[in-house]
Structure 1
């Protein structure tokens, strides 16, 4: 029955793809060396939340997050202050933290609108230390790779060696990180195997030769283009093959390093370090001839790769590239890049359909139904979680139930009961999410539904009579 259903859905999906146009998704990338500072009170401007068009994905890379031993241990046990701020800001707008990775001062966060979460799979993270000859993580790179509607993407956040005379060493570190980071995947074992790669961070490249007076005159007159020829990254891209693989938008914004703290003045200390574009965002889309598809024995590999690219293309366009000068808690200014991902979905059906059956109340046991829509390897460790609408991350569930415990098969799928003791007495608006242990991600999300608060609690005056009153009480 399940195989027939899966086959029917797949045939419908493949039939539709012949006539589908490309889908567009917004990606917003942030890189910021925060110089061990605590986060500001507000990041709405940083995330451009006043814009009427919200991105589908946020990728936030920080460097020099405070990593003193006691604080680092507490950050591992609980969300660090930066993660907490971004989650608290984005969750009410419908974004979920899908995954993250931390290596000492390097932090990389990946957020998605909830609608896309069931189509984000094959998530893996890794890191590479380059400080103290590879033994210390104050420098290096952290990465997240994943499948987005079937297209393999990788995001790499780096903090490379500092100082003017280390340009060649920065290139060496970049090559080492790109080569050393590997993933448990047949077709995309390394970063550069992915269909699209976004590389960003405090790359620490400086402006050579020009004196301080010339640089300041260029900045005052906003003739940034006069400084580009002596930007080390621009210079290195002309001769280093690995850098030539990446694109970057024009540097039409002020150098983002080095500022006096809590000011917009470049370094006035005795060192008077020259301004530089240390903080960068680059990207690369794998060329058609190198893209890897699923290749069957006996088939022409190059021909199949070409056919897959023609059927499921991916294009990346940068819509804006700038700095956010209104943040001054660090000696670096944050840099943001707004991208459009244009792609044809390789899959557009979730693995599992999840539903809350009937009316839910904290006074009665509740019923969940779930139906596999495609064949996949389920596990006894799969679970379905109850999440409040606006939840922050996958670990932010209210309660959960194992799918293999007390499940009952019926004609269209499976049913599981949830004890009334596990349902929040205050009620509210919730969604159900099916978490796959094998995929290590959410593969199905229900429609939002309301849960009626406990009648006994309402009668005792612990809860208001209606959901509007409940929401006002929770907000206050």
Structure 2
């Protein structure tokens, strides 16, 4: 790992806070300020990565969580959304949950490539043990995040090694030209079952006598803080967190979609939205544009939406226009923003600046109209 500081006006620093916690089926505590570093004004965090183990995975809880958000996800969204964090992605396998939150301005530069689950309990058929993975691209760089729950105790070391190897082998981003996550020294050591955070940065080697033409690395990762939080007593485990600074020169400098709400609104109960796209954007009729109140918790929190394929009214010189129904928005002084969701890429690829809109009259959604869900 290198802490080399990047130079040049195009460099960007992202602060990432990572949490791991075996919660022993407990509900969230009333206050997570210390764990999430909410009172540390100097951090200026951009991304949260939160891995939880041993969530309540009884039948009733699993059925309820399948229909609604689990209590931990809901609690974390309630805490982080007022701070402009949006849940970007999540993956759950029984009691193992992995969540990624990001400041909303980063959303167009985060592409979710895959989410995977690897059960290792009961000979690989049960998900009480195992790992879940989110593979994404962050400003053009590949990032793989894994949350593991391994067998405990020294006597289970061989089984733990076997499970660890299986999780890593199964959770690479298949078909991607990225380094194999197994290429590190963790396979040579005994993986602990206690709570900890492992990280590794892989990049091209620096130029040398035999490779004088290699470019200098364009990113670096440094650890700012690492420790446990002993004040939490809901579980027999204590949460562990680490704060990292990721410095990079973005490989993607502009969003794939640029959204522009039109003012004034020319059609009663509708607002016109113009957008342009890059030449290589893989558009789909199943793409949609959502209208959100500022402070949204995740991408499904829209107050109105439009399917791009059904609602497009004009297209010329790479400028497209669609109408979004705003008749069901009550009188409010809240600010709104627009997000363009790409079905092909499975991610938000464009976001507007916050704006205000005139109120519309309340009206029910048309019967039978499908609503997008992620």
- Shorter-chain TM-score bucket reads 0.7 to 0.9
Relative to its length, the structure with more helix (as a share) is 1
Aligned to 2:24: 35
Provide the TM-score with structure 1 as the length reference: 0.69
Aligned to 2:204: 288
Aligned partners of 1:55, 1:367: CA distance in 2, in Å?
34
C-alpha displacement at 1:361, in angstroms? 10
Preserved contact between residue 352 and residue 374 of structure 1 (Cα < 8 Å) = no
Aligned partners of 1:277, 1:170: CA distance in 2, in Å?
8
Aligned to 2:352: 446
Aligned partners of 2:304, 2:179: CA distance in 1, in Å?
36
Preserved contact between residue 181 and residue 190 of structure 1 (Cα < 8 Å) = no
C-alpha displacement at 1:287, in angstroms? 4.5
Aligned partners of 2:296, 2:101: CA distance in 1, in Å?
12
Aligned partners of 1:327, 1:417: CA distance in 2, in Å?
49
Query: What SS does the corresponding residue of 2:158 show, helix, strand or coil?
Result: helix
Structure 1 pair 420–64 and aligned structure 2 pair: CA distance change class (3 A): closer
Aligned partners of 1:137, 1:189: CA distance in 2, in Å?
27
Preserved contact between residue 65 and residue 106 of structure 1 (Cα < 8 Å) = yes
The correspondence of residues 300-379 of structure 1 with structure 2, limited to 5 A, is 307=214, 310=216, 313-359=218-264, 364-379=269-284
* RMSD after superposition: 2.8
Preserved contact between residue 10 and residue 249 of structure 2 (Cα < 8 Å) = yes
Preserved contact between residue 362 and residue 427 of structure 1 (Cα < 8 Å) = no
C-alpha displacement at 1:162, in angstroms? 1.0
Aligned partners of 1:427, 1:449: CA distance in 2, in Å?
10
Aligned to 2:87: 97
Preserved contact between residue 165 and residue 187 of structure 2 (Cα < 8 Å) = no
Aligned partners of 1:81, 1:114: CA distance in 2, in Å?
23
C-alpha displacement at 1:176, in angstroms? 1.6
Aligned partners of 1:142, 1:105: CA distance in 2, in Å?
11
Preserved contact between residue 362 and residue 425 of structure 1 (Cα < 8 Å) = no
The unaligned stretches of length 5 or more in structure 2 are: 1-5, 363-374
CA offset digits 1:45-87 (Å, max 9, x no partner): 2100111122111000000000001111110111000000000
Aligned partners of 2:100, 2:284: CA distance in 1, in Å?
26
C-alpha displacement at 1:424, in angstroms? 4.2
Provide the TM-score with structure 2 as the length reference: 0.86
Aligned to 1:171: 161
Preserved contact between residue 175 and residue 242 of structure 1 (Cα < 8 Å) = no
Aligned partners of 1:185, 1:155: CA distance in 2, in Å?
17
CA offset digits 1:359-400 (Å, max 9, x no partner): 469964211000113421100000100011010001111111
Aligned partners of 1:94, 1:449: CA distance in 2, in Å?
15
Structure with bigger gyration radius:
1
Aligned partners of 1:63, 1:374: CA distance in 2, in Å?
43
Asked which structure has the greater RCO (Cα within 8 Å, sep 6+), the reply is 2
Aligned to 2:307: 402
CA offset digits 1:80-137 (Å, max 9, x no partner): 0000000010001000000000000000000000111100014311011111111111
